[in-house]
Amino acid sequence: MQTDSSFTFVLFGGTGDLSMRKILPALFEAHRAGGMLADSGKIVAVARHATDRGEYIQWVNEHVKPHVSKNGVDESAWASFLERIEFVNIDLGKAEDFVHLRDAIQDLPGIRVFYLATGPSLFVPICHALASVGLNANSRIVLEKPLGYDLKSSNAINDAVGEIFAEEQIYRIDHYLGKEPVQNLLALRFGNALFEPLWRREWVESIQITIAEELGVEARGDFYDNTGALRDMVQNHLLQLLSIVAMEPPHSMDSDSVRDEKLRVLRALKPIDPRDIGKVAVRGQYHSGVIRGTAVPAYATEPGVKPESATETFVALKVEIENWRWAGVPFFLRTGKRLADRVAEIVVNFRAVPHSALGASALRAGANRLVIRLQPNETIRLYCLAKQPGEGMNLASVHLDLAFDQFFREGQMEAYQRLLLDVINGRLALFVRRDEQEAAWRWVEPILNEWKASNKPPKPYASGTWGPAASSAMLAQHGTCWLEEEN
């Protein structure tokens, strides 16, 4: 992925956690690889927590450097990366300060990228301030989630930003779409004749998508208590993954072809009747427990969380898609904090054989399944049954394993690195279009409204477990269970 595209990358929130842990390390990796970033490209950090470039570079050395390359830092590459960085100190709440930004970047070359690594309350004021000094023309703007609290607030932000930037200038980022296994899911489905005939209701019994975290809310208690798992993870990450799993083959991989097919899936999601939410939606909240031998506190005692909070930290859903390919196939989505393991994966459970001459083991659910793991280790495994050595016809589960780090010698590209390069090079396919976002909010909102109206507290679960028992019971009703034994 080499480029000659010159750019000026303006990073709002230049001293924030996201900039420290993800954005600047990703830009460094692209710089270190050579050829991915044009030599003339500049990074302009915008923040209030530094007074000048010297102080900001000191902050980068102290806080960003520990998060870069896992194999150590090439000091020569690090030094040349720092030469790319400029700094502007402005108050994002003061539109008049943006004159200083305009003056600082007006002579810098290439396409201008404005990355808003800030709270969503600043998105619209920043966009208006950019427009007030003429910086919205011939530029691109990247919006981090969460983009709104519900459909109404999401539309309000999109309307305001859309008055200043055209849709093709707006890059709504979802970092899960940049992960290597998600890209390989597209390659697996649309680059091979083997799987596509099986990717439909006749051969697929169910599909699971899990994003599980061991961490709690950490220092984000104030934010998370006003958000919850459904808004934080389901409305974006999980529904985006579902749309890629379930989409029809696009006629090409250009941005609108891919996003058109994803949108068709989101619009085909079966609306959930509020009367059925208790059957198809489980919400939970973690209590104290033990994770990897360490005692961890309950959510209600985390800093910034209201003691009587009813915010969910776990969600499990049964989802159906009303189209020809997937009618009758349940999709089970699950996400939560303080769970038993950190894992993100997609599990495609194929139907059992219609009749077995080899015994009951050939008829069990999940005997044939495809497991696409996104984290922590990125692999694709195809499970099937084979005869055990020895006397008799005893079957055992075996698998074919594609471990990317073993098969491909070159290092894998991190999600943010891929997505930032796509922004610089003007590739929109892996970014969320407004109509996709609206369709996702429209489907999620009835669940949010019903939970709010019911006043029922989330189901408790101990930290270090896989969530409330009701989550497993929901799958048991369909003769299946969550895949939890993989490591």
- Between CA 123 and CA 130 the distance in angstroms is 11
Query: Quick one: pLDDT at residue 409?
Result: 64
Looking at residues 454-471, what average pLDDT do you find?
A: 95
What is the pTM (predicted TM-score) of this model? 0.92
34-59: per-residue pLDDT in tens? 889 999 999 999 988 878 999 999 99
Alpha-helical runs (H) found in 142-210: 151-162, 180-190
The region of weakest confidence among 100-104, 271-275, 321-325 is 271-275
Catalytic residue among 175, 237, 287, 399: 237
Identify the band that residue 4 occupies on the pLDDT scale cut at 50, 70 and 90.
Answer: low
- SS3 labels along 293-321: CEEECCHHHCCCCCCCCCCCCEEEEEECE
Average pLDDT for the chain: 91
Report the sign of the C-alpha dihedral through residues 447, 453, 459, 464, in that order: positive
Nearest to 9 by CA among 125, 139, 177: 139
Query: Quick one: pLDDT at residue 231?
Result: 94
Query: Quick one: pLDDT at residue 242?
Result: 97
Could you give all domains of the chain from N- to C-terminal order, each with its CATH number?
Answer: 7-144 (3.40.50.720), 177-414+428-476 (3.30.360.10)
235-257: per-residue pLDDT in tens? 999 999 999 999 999 998 888 99
391-428: per-residue pLDDT in tens? 778 787 888 887 777 777 666 788 999 999 999 999 99
Give the SS3 label for residue 236: helix
What's the half-sphere exposure (Cβ side, CA atoms, 13 Å) at 327? 3
Centroid of chain to Cα 236: 7
Residue whose structure tokens are 């040349």:
80
| 359 pLDDT above the threshold of 80 | no
Angle at 15 between CA 419 and CA 231, to 5 degrees: 55
Query: Quick one: pLDDT at residue 1?
Result: 47
Looking at residues 13-40, what average pLDDT do you find?
A: 92
Q: Is 287 annotated in the active site?
A: no
